[in-house]
Amino acid sequence: MMCAMAYTVPELPYPYEALEPHISADTMRFHHDKHHQAYVDKANAALDGTGLEDADPRDVLSRLTEYPPDKRDAVTNNVGGHYNHTLFWESMTPGGATQPARDGKLAGAIRETFGSFAGCKETIKEAALSQFGSGWAWLVSDGYRVLIVTTSNQDCPISDDLEPLLGIDVWEHAYYLDYEHRRPDYIDAWLKVVNWDVVEQRYAAAPVPEVADILQRLVTVCSVERRFGEVTMDEARQHSTELKALAGWGPMAKVGAIARGWSDLAVNMQKRKAATVADLDPGIVEKAAIELWIVPPNRSMV
Ligand SMILES: [Fe+2]
């Protein structure tokens, strides 16, 4: 017996034909009524009997490792498929793409990471093209900044501790009827219907990580992977020296700033007699995490 609270496909927030000529009514009908429905049906079947039939998809996706291995793939693919598509429908709007408010928090974060709104859209396109086979390209928040990542199949950034702000579905079912194999044309068309107002609301509501979680993030320091909180002053200093040797050279130009950040961290630790990063004040840990790009683990960052 299926639980009464089982997932259902949400209504589209606009008519099927509302995104034409960029995305046709046929594609929307097929994608929403058939594909999304299939994810919902399989998600309900995968969760049936687990006691989690009505769990918030976000909770399910952030706790995938707690599911028995024989159920995990079905849960990942289908709860992910349901959540990702729900977000996708809400991310598009009839009447042409909106723009983030010029002086808003999102526009500022976009400038910080990509230099400009145009640079952000260009990077989304590159990421969507780079995803080999079925998957998604995402604009996400790690709690401090916006980043672009890709995922395969129906994997969701929530499972990597990243907040999805905007995602483009690059499964062929999303564009084949309209654009055949021409993924670049579909991406250009999709960028013309993005609802940036919704993206802005998601960014405003994106959770900020706890310092305790930041200390648990993995970093590679002096070629060794360890928890950020366990890094010692000597390691921070040595890592800074190693990075400085690379800085300023072509694509490594940004490394100089990061090398200085590690050096500042070592100085802070010395001043405060901190044996490891975990002994520092939370404010200093947070600032260092931003400067040093101590981001959550993820599959493929662009
Ligand atoms: Fe899809």
Q: What is the pLDDT of residue 161?
A: 85
Quick one: pLDDT at residue 50? 82
pLDDT per position as a tens digit, 72-100: 999 999 999 999 999 999 999 998 889 99
Q: Is the Cβ–Cβ distance between 181 and 258 less than 8 Å? A: no
Residue 5 has pLDDT above 70, yes or no: no
User: Containing H/E element for 114?
Assistant: helix 105-114
Backbone phi and psi for residue 168, each to the nearest 5 degrees, phi listed first = -105, 125
Q: Determine the pLDDT at residue 68.
A: 81
> How remote is the CA of residue 153 from the centroid of ligand 1, in Å?
10
Q: What is the mean pLDDT of the chain?
A: 91
* Residues 170-209 as b or e (16 or more Cβ within 10 Å = b): bbeebbebbbeeebeebbebbbebbbbebbbebbeebeeb
In angstroms, what is the span from residue 277 Cα to ligand 1's centroid?
42
pLDDT tens per residue, range 36-86: 999 999 999 999 888 888 899 999 999 888 888 888 999 999 999 999 999
What is the whole-number distance in angstroms between the Cα of residue 24 and the centre of ligand 1?
A: 14
pLDDT band at 248 (very low <50, low <70, confident <90, very high): low
Percent of residues in the chain assigned helix, strand, coil, to nearest 5:
55, 10, 35
* Ligand 1 centroid, distance to 129 Cα (angstroms): 16
| pLDDT (0 to 100) of residue 255 | 77
In this predicted model, what pLDDT tens digit does every residue of 183-220 receive, in sequence order?
Answer: 999 999 999 999 999 999 999 999 888 899 899 988 99
Query: Could you tell me the distance, in angstroms and rounded to a whole number, from the CA of residue 84 to the centre of ligand 1?
Result: 8
CA of 121 to the centre of ligand 1 (A): 20
CA distances from 230 to 217, 261, 268 (A): 10, 17, 15
Tell me how far apart the alpha carbons of residues 213 and 160 are, in angstroms, rounded to a whole number.
13
Q: Which residues surround ligand 1, an ion (CB under 5 A)?
A: 169, 171, 174
41 C-alpha to center of ligand 1: Å? 15
Residues near 147 by beta carbon (within 8 Å), at least 6 away in sequence: 113, 139, 140, 141, 162, 295, 301, 302
Q: Is 222 left (phi over 0), alpha (psi -120 to 50) or beta?
A: left
Widest distance between CA atoms in the chain:
65
Tell me: the pLDDT tens digits for 122-156? 999 999 999 999 999 999 998 888 999 999 999 99
Angle of CA points 149, 152, 157, to nearest 5°:
45
Centre of ligand 1 from the C-alpha of residue 150, in Å: 15
pLDDT for the residue 293 = 83
Q: pLDDT category, 240, cuts 50, 70, 90?
A: very high
- Extract the tokens encoding 11: 């209504």
* Residue 149 near residue 140, CB atoms below 8 Å: yes
Tell me the Ramachandran region of residue 228: left when phi exceeds 0, alpha when psi lies from -120 to 50, beta otherwise: alpha
Quote the CA–CA distance of 273 and 70 in Å, as a whole number.
49
One-letter amino acid for residue 246 of the chain: L
Inter-residue contact 237 to 262 (CB < 8 Å): yes
Contacts of 290 (CB under 8 A, 6+ apart): 144, 145
Q: Which domains does the chain have, with CATH numbers?
A: 16-205 (3.55.40.20), 211-291 (no CATH)
Closest CA to 215 of 285, 159, 143, 263: 285
Collect all residues with Cβ–Cβ distance below 8 Å to 286 and sequence separation of at least 6. 211, 214
CA 197 vs. chain centroid, Å, equals 18
Count of CB atoms situated within 10 Å of the CB of 242:
15
Q: How far is the CA of 36 from the centre of ligand 1 (A)?
A: 7
